[in-house]
Structure 1
């Protein structure tokens, strides 16, 4: 009897610990759900932070590359050759805004030139100095000489954006290059023109530039978003063209996409200003003319956006070269 009584409590205790109650199971499920939700949110937030950071880094790197390349190009532009224009189709908002300039291929100092009543000349000489665009190479790069021009003392864009007839005229400030060769005197280059010329004025520092065909950077509205293009190989146009289709189809320009996802609102601008003549903050390109105290200044404003992230580059570029 005593042995039976001693066995009963043991069996009872074993039965109580043979499983879980409903309350315990529900509690475990709730706890696991809370933990799972926390882990999921943590992983999701971490993943989203990584994606956001990667996209931010991508737009920063792309925009910085574009802006740096643009700024470097502007610094090597022919003095007083930068001009801006907007394209506004009849009855529509502005859909493109362009900046155009002559890129410098080489610059040096002339020994003498013909001006005014002097007899026209076909050649000038100057020291074979370091190339303006590539400091690693000394002297003038004679590639594509026929597409190069000599410019002396440009003070206004109208003096260099001239017709083909004026390029071969016997006066002016820009003339087409025929040949560049070593001079008979050591250390000098001799530049030959296609025709005789007597230049309008002497440079105050006796400097002349050799430039290539103009280049345009255009911010264009396409399918509801703005893209930045570089256009080349269309020659010299007296009147600036801000329609990239006309530059491509009519003038044979080559187009290269420089950047996407820009958000500058150019719909109301006219050559960098609002129609009511107030300065327009979102104009991508603006030019301040040179003064007696300084060279000209180019303002560039490019606004990049991706997934509601906006990166703004607002630059003021002081032209390094002077006529």
Structure 2
């Protein structure tokens, strides 16, 4: 009589144990692979965020009046005056109470309104005194050459120096970029103050969030002032942290700010 084929209990237990080992290894492999993919994705996300933050700061700083770049205490803030327009003057304001001067019009029939700065080297553009390098609010109109740049409200102003290139800039009120805690903010509309990045607004629209998840105290700005031979250089470093893993990505950048005295 033919004996029936089958598995013994020992063989069945061995198969179950082997399957459990294979399943455990497979689960660990899938888990590690998934964790690795998530970590790589998180690093790429932080790296992209770092590039975006650096580019935002760099583009803004490249439009700054070089002699207006300055840092706050500890280097956590950078302040500057954005350039709205630039042209050449035909004659500087003269006389005891000058309220206007003639200039070359802007290309494309544009106009500009802001403060006029001439030269500015060796002087503090954040001290709007008369005489001084920065004027009261003024208007550069459109029109045929020459155009007359007038100080608003009948104000008068004399500039303390002349530009070798007869160059003048029209600048806006100061803006600042600062780190507060884990956030990076952009400030505007707070006026001109003697101390760097002082009197900053604490709410929207004067304060806008540029980025989050920065390591507290990691943002440091450094400014190399411009000279008659070279432009200003702004360098900054900061760190981004992953909220879940705590992994940190360090970012560094240098920006050259070209200038024409």
TM bin, normalised by shorter chain, reads 0.7 to 0.9
The 1-side partners of 2:109 and 2:56 are apart by: 23
> How many aligned residue pairs are there?
257
* Cα distance, 1:139–1:43 mapped onto 2, change above 3 Å: farther
Tell me, yes or no, if the aligned pair for 1:228 and 1:259 is still in contact at 8 Å: yes
**Structure 2 counterpart of 1:151:** 117
The answer on 1:121 being equivalent to 2:98 is: yes
Match of 1:290 in 2: 226
Does structure 2 conserve the Cα–Cα contact (< 8 Å) formed by 1:219 and 1:227?
A: yes
The answer to whether the aligner puts 1:31 opposite 2:56 as a matched pair is no
Choose from 58, 64, 69 the match for 2:56.
Answer: 69
Q: CA deviation at 1:178?
A: 4.0
Structure 1, unaligned runs of 5 or more: 1-7, 87-93, 131-137, 267-282
CA offset at residue 139 of structure 1?
A: 5.3
RMSD: 2.6
Shift of 1:104: 0.5
Aligned pair in 2 of structure 1 residues 36, 122: CA closer, same or farther (>3 Å)?
A: same
For residues 67-95 of structure 1, the C-alpha deviation after alignment (integer angstroms, 9 at most, x for no partner) is 11101111111021111112xxxxxxx7x
In 1, the alpha carbon distance for the partners of 2:247 and 2:204 equals 37
Instruction: Give the match's secondary structure for 2:226.
Output: coil
Question: CA separation of 1:257/1:305 partners in 2, compared to 1, >3 Å: closer, same or farther?
Answer: same
Which of 114, 119, 133 does residue 173 from structure 1 map onto? Answer: 133
> In structure 1, which of residues 104, 107, 128 is the aligned counterpart of residue 83 of structure 2?
104
Higher Cα Rg, which structure: 1
Q: Structure 1 66/197 Cα, relative in aligned 2: closer, same or farther at 3 Å?
A: same
- 2:201 is aligned to 248
Q: Does the aligned pair in 1 maintain the 2:98–2:157 contact within 8 Å?
A: yes
Contact 2:93 2:99 in 1 (8 A): no
Match of 1:313 among 219, 234, 251: 251
Q: Could you tell me which residue of structure 1 aligns to residue 67 of structure 2?
A: 80
* Residue 263 of structure 1, CA deviation: 2.5
Q: Structure 1 residues 128, 54: CA separation in 2 closer, same or farther (over 3 Å shift)?
A: farther
Contact 1:63/1:259, CA 8 A, preserved across alignment? no
Q: 1:252 to 1:112 in 2, by over 3 A?
A: farther
> Structure 1 residues 178 and 208, CA, compared in 2 at 3 Å: closer, same or farther?
closer
What secondary structure, in the 3-state scheme, does the structure 2 residue paired with 1:106 have? strand
2:212 aligns with 260
Q: Which runs of 5+ in 2 are unaligned?
A: none
Asked whether the 8 Å contact 1:79–1:322 carries over to 2, the reply is no
- Residue 235 (1) aligns with residue 191 (2): yes
